[in-house]
Amino acid sequence: MDMSLVSALMGAQTGMLQLAMATRLERMNADQGASIVKLIDAAQQSMAPLANAASGVGANLDVTA
């Protein structure tokens, strides 16, 4: 088999592997972005009830045992 043909096939396989890895990394980044949005949304929802608390609540909390 001609060495240029072998080299071309190896290059094509390497390119396909790189494309597959790039696709996987992009998918992971998209999933991570969605998780961050969900985390921020949950934090905002848990802070809403605290916004209605009276001023100074928890200011003099003694946590010593």
**pLDDT surpassing 80 at residue 1:** no
SS3 52: coil
Query: For 10-20, what is each residue's pLDDT tens digit?
Result: 989 998 999 99
Domain contains 31: yes
- Written as one string, the DSSP assignment of 13-59 is HHHHHHHHHHHHHHHHHHHHHHHHHHHHHHHHHHHHHHHTSPTTTTT
Q: Hey, how many other C-beta atoms are within 10 angstroms of the C-beta on 39?
A: 10
Domain contains 37: yes
Q: Tokens 């396989």 correspond to what residue?
A: 13
Domain contains 18: no
The count of domains in the chain is 1
Domain extent, residue 42, equals: 23-47
In this predicted structure, what is the pLDDT of residue 2? 76
Query: For 24-53, what is each residue's pLDDT tens digit?
Result: 988 888 888 888 888 888 888 877 777 777
SS3 65: coil
Domain contains 63: no
In this predicted structure, what is the pLDDT of residue 20? 92
